[in-house]
Structure 1
Amino acid sequence: MKKIAIFDVCDTLYNVNTTFSFLDYFFHKNNKYAFFRKISRLFLIKVANYLVLKLLGKDLIRICGTFFLKNHEKDEIKKFSKIFVSEILDKQIKKDIATKLKYFKEQDYYIVLMSGSYDFIIKEVANYFNVSTFFASKLEIVDKFYIGKFKNDILMDKYNLFNKNFQSYEKLIVVSNNKSDLKLMNLADKAYAVCNKKSDLKFWNNHTNIECVRSF
C-alpha cells in the first residue's frame, strides 16, 4: 500500500489562483476580457458568486471566464501554458509548501496534485515539480478547439475523486487552503491548512487534527 500526499495547487502551492492568473496572462490584450474582469471584481458580484458556489457548487465567475477560451486551438493553449508555468508561476511558488512537497517525496510518499484548475495548467505544474499523478478540471474540445465549457469540473468533488481512485493506502497527507476540502482533510492522518489571511486561522483552529501553515 502507498503512502499518499495530496497537494492542492491554487493559493496553496502558489500565491495565486492559477485559473485566473492564466486567463489574465493569456487575454491581457483582450478588451472584452478586461471589462469582464473589472465587473467580476465588484463586491456585489463576488457576494452573489459566493452564494451560488455555496448553494449550487457552481463558480459562475469561473464559468464565464472559461467561455473566453472558446475557439482557441488546443496546441495554442498548450504552448502558452508551458510558458505561463515556467516564467509566470515560477515567481509565485510558496517556498514553504514546495519544501513540504519535496520532503514528503523524499519520505517515499506518492505525491498527487489535485486542483479545480484547468488540466492543461496542472499538467505543466506536475511536470515542473516532477509529479507523475494529477487530477484537474477538463474542458470540452471539438476538432482540436476549445468550446469554452467544462467537460469535467472537479472543483467541489475532491473527496469523492480521492475515494474513487485510491481505495487502499497506508497513510494520507493533505495540504490545501480550501475550506471546501475539509472533508478530505478530515480523512487524512495529517492535514495542513494553508492560511493566506488571519481570518483563516479562526476557521482551521477549530479542527485539532489540522495544522495551520501561515502564509500572510
Structure 2
Amino acid sequence: MPPPLPATDVDIFVFDVCDTLFYSNTTFDYLRYVLARKGWRGRQQLLRLLTGRWSPVYLALATWQKLTGADATKAAALRLLTGLPKIELYDLGKRFLMEFLGERRIAPTHALLAGLAGARPRVVLLSASLDPIVAAIADALGVEFVSSELEYNAQGRSTGRLRRELGGQKHHALAELTGSDDALRLAVATDNFTDRELVARAASRYVVVHRPEAKRFWQDLTPYFIEAYT
C-alpha cells in the first residue's frame, strides 16, 4: 500500500533525497562514481581514507567535526572534484541517476510522489546533496529543487568547495523559496533528524525510518511512518 496523499489544502510538499527517495548517501556515492568513471585511482584511495570508518584520517575528521560542528569529511572529500567542468559534473549526475540510483529507489516515497501528479501541491526537493545530483533527480521527476551548490570558477570548473551548504539550513531555504509566507500549508517527507523543525511545522508529516527504534525520535509529532527497512 502506498502512503496516503496529504490533505488537499497543502500548498507545498518538500521531499528530502538521501535515504528518503533513495537508499544512498548521494554525495559520497556520487563522488565514488565520478572518480571511478574518471579512472582516478589516487583520488579514489584518498576518498577511501576520508570515509573509511576505521581510517585514522576519518577518525581525526570526525573528532574535528564534533568539536566545530563543521562537516570536515564532506569538505575534504569535495576537494577531489577540483578542476572538473560544471557541464561534465552535470552530465555525470544524470548518468549516476540512471546507472546507480535507479536500483536504489525507496518505493513508498516514489509512490507518494507519483500520486501527487496533477495535484495541487508545489513539489520541491530540498537536499544538502550536490547540485549536479539533485538537478538530475528533479529534472527526471519534473519538480523543483534547492540543494547545496558547488562553487565554480570563471572557467566553469569546480573549485572543490561549496558556494552554498544546505545542511542545517533547510528552514532558511524554504523561507527564501516561499517568501516566508506562514499561511502556506506544508507537507514534508524526510528521514533526517536534523529536519525535525520542518516536520514539526508541517500539516502533513511523512517520516522515513530505516530501523524501528528511530520512531521514538519522531513519535510525539505523530507522523505517517514509511518503513524502509533493509
2:19 aligned with 1:11: yes
Secondary structure (helix, strand or coil) at the match of 1:175 reads strand
Q: Give me the whole-angstrom Cα distance separating, in 2, the residues matched to 1:55 and 1:103.
A: 43
Name the CA shift for 1:52/1:11 in 2 (closer, same or farther; >3 Å).
Answer: farther
**Residue identity matched to 2:149:** K
Secondary structure (helix, strand or coil) at the match of 2:82 reads coil
Q: Deviations over 1:16-44 (max 9, x none)?
A: 01111111111123323332333322247
* Partner residue in 1 for 2:193: 179
Moved over 6 A (4+): none
**Residue identity matched to 1:213:** I
Q: Give me the whole-angstrom Cα distance separating, in 2, the residues matched to 1:81 and 1:164.
A: 25
* Partner residue in 1 for 2:152: 141
* Partner residue in 2 for 1:41: 52
Structure 2 portions without partners, runs of 5+: 1-8
Name the CA shift for 1:171/1:147 in 2 (closer, same or farther; >3 Å).
Answer: same
Q: Give me the whole-angstrom Cα distance separating, in 2, the residues matched to 1:50 and 1:100.
A: 35
Of the candidates 185, 202, 205, which is equivalent to residue 191 of structure 1? Answer: 205
Q: CA deviation at 1:61?
A: 1.2
Worse overlay, 25-34 or 60-69: 25-34
Q: CA deviation at 1:150?
A: 0.6
* Partner residue in 2 for 1:25: 33
Worse overlay, 52-61 or 192-201: 52-61
Q: Give me the whole-angstrom Cα distance separating, in 1, the residues matched to 2:94 and 2:162.
A: 21
* Partner residue in 1 for 2:77: 65
Q: CA deviation at 1:208?
A: 3.0
Are the equivalent residues in 1 in contact too, given 2:10–2:187 (CA < 8 A)?
no
Are the equivalent residues in 2 in contact too, given 1:57–1:156 (CA < 8 A)?
no
Secondary structure (helix, strand or coil) at the match of 2:126 reads strand
Structure 1 portions without partners, runs of 5+: none
Q: Deviations over 1:57-100 (max 9, x none)?
A: 42111111111000111121122111111222111111110111
Secondary structure (helix, strand or coil) at the match of 2:166 reads coil
2:102 aligned with 1:94: no
2:112 aligned with 1:104: no
Relative to the length of structure 1, the TM-score reads 0.89
Secondary structure (helix, strand or coil) at the match of 2:142 reads coil
Relative to the length of structure 2, the TM-score reads 0.84
Equivalent residue runs for 1:148-159 within 5 Å? 148-159=160-171
Are the equivalent residues in 2 in contact too, given 1:174–1:188 (CA < 8 A)?
yes
Q: Give me the whole-angstrom Cα distance separating, in 2, the residues matched to 1:173 and 1:191.
A: 6
Worse overlay, 51-60 or 121-130: 51-60
Secondary structure (helix, strand or coil) at the match of 1:68 reads helix
Q: Deviations over 1:168-202 (max 9, x none)?
A: 25421000010000011111012111111233222
Are the equivalent residues in 1 in contact too, given 2:10–2:203 (CA < 8 A)?
no
Q: Give me the whole-angstrom Cα distance separating, in 2, the residues matched to 1:56 and 1:187.
A: 28
Secondary structure (helix, strand or coil) at the match of 2:113 reads helix
Name the CA shift for 1:98/1:116 in 2 (closer, same or farther; >3 Å).
Answer: same
